[in-house]
Amino acid sequence: MEDSDQTQTPTRVTDPLTNAFGSLNDLAPELSSLQDLATRGSWRSILDKVSRARSFSLLTLPHHHLTYLSYNALALMKLRRFDDAAQELDSLEDFNSSSYQYESYPHAYPNRSGSMVPFSLRWLHAVLLLKMSNRQEGLDRLYLLLDFIREKLRQKIDEKLDLSASMWRKREVIVVNCLIGYHLSGKEFGVCLNLIRELLKDSADFDPVLVSKLGYIQMQIGDLEGATTSFNRVEEMLKSKKSDDGDGDGDGDVELRNLVNRNKVLVYLIGKDYVSAVREYEECIERNDSDVVAVNNKALCLMYLRDLSDGIKVLENALERVPTVALNETVVVNLCSMYELAYVNHSDIKRTLSNWIARVAPDDFDSSCTRI
């Protein structure tokens, strides 16, 4: 079975640069269409669209080529065509090359300077080797990217460009989260603690997600007291927010409340108190029925309580209710495992599920997770 928790890192990084150009289509031809296809997981259509744009010479400016290459490389990676993605990225020069500076093309970009390389390209270049199981060189690239981000962040802070600094701060968090995920998989807990504490030390604002992640890492090394302290800090923030704002039900309030619930569950699970864990997850789902972490883990807790029937219903209902959110490999693997435990004719049931997935899943969904 596969657990899901709030420490998971994002897998999609987009960089539309709409702050520099009025709209997506101002940035590059038909870019809004590419973005829509990416949102829907139509990666094969993206490859077709990029191919046509290149064939018909629709990409007339240097940054057009970089933008389309970003989407093409992302689509290839999503489809697990890593060698093709590597070939695409290897076609680029060094990111610091003058070829990728706006000022090298004064007639095309009057009064503009700096790099035209999308951040998404830097990100894809860093994580590709990790996808290809080249762990050490992939981690080296991620750390180089982190150094690059932090230098940019320092520049924006010195220049008092708060909005731009906030953007680079978010990118720093994304990369550190990714690094923590890979170091956690290698049980390198000391490295994880150093990364998260450095991030928290440099943060001007209290970030409940980061503090919760610190608590999760502390639990991994058996520091229950430290984890409890971290989780209590998050809960105190919620109480303070309630006091300041009243019992609001905005998106931010819901997210913070659910984070507190999920933190409590981690402590309950140490004592195998699955009943209390289910109760906390039910509160999360009641506030937000798209909280797939709570849905998935509630089903697992029910299974541990030997209530396979209700566990299956929880996952099936989520897939029916919010397929675009709940349809991921972790949920499907767990549902199929429960089918195997609960039903003699599980192959037929899984085949029905697989046929439904084939109709609604994005292109990058790994259908082998049904184990038919």
pLDDT, one tens digit for every residue, the chain (372 residues): 655 443 333 344 444 344 445 567 778 889 999 999 999 999 999 999 999 999 999 999 999 999 999 999 999 999 999 999 999 999 999 999 999 999 999 999 999 999 999 999 999 999 999 999 999 999 999 999 999 999 999 999 999 999 999 999 999 999 999 999 999 999 999 999 999 999 998 776 678 999 999 999 999 999 999 999 999 999 998 888 776 666 555 566 899 999 999 999 999 999 999 999 999 999 999 999 999 999 999 999 999 999 999 999 999 999 999 999 999 999 999 999 999 999 999 999 999 999 999 999 999 999 999 998
End-to-end CA distance of the chain: 17
CA distance 331 to 343: 18
Which of these, 253, 324, 264, lies nearest to 294 by C-alpha position?
A: 264
pLDDT at 251: 61
What token pair was written down for 82?
């890593």
Provide the β-strand partners of residue 101.
115
Dihedral sign from CA coordinates of 295, 301, 304, 310: negative
Q: Which of 333, 364, 372 has its CA nearest to residue 131?
A: 364
The pLDDT value recorded for residue 372 is: 85
* Cβ(298)–Cβ(281) below 8 Å: yes
* Contact predicate 312/339, CB 8 Å: yes
At 367, list the tokens. Answer: 């259908």
Residue with tokens 């541990």: 304
Q: What is the dihedral of CA 128, 130, 135, 136, to 10 degrees?
A: 40
Instruction: Give the orientation angle of helix 162-185 with respect to helix 135-158, to 10 degrees.
Output: 160
Q: How far apart are CA 7 and CA 217, in angstroms?
A: 9
* Alpha-carbon span 148 to 222, nearest angstrom: 34
Rounded Cα gap, residues 234 and 354, in angstroms? 40
d(CA 327, CA 196): 30
Contact 137, 129 (CB under 8 A): yes
What confidence score (pLDDT) does residue 245 get? 65
pLDDT at 346: 96
Torsion sign, CA atoms 78, 82, 173, 182 = positive
Residue 227 burial by Cβ neighbours in a 10 Å radius (0-12, 13-18, 19+): buried
pLDDT of residue 27: 81
pLDDT at residue 17, as a whole number:
40
CA dist 133 and 355 (Å) reads: 31
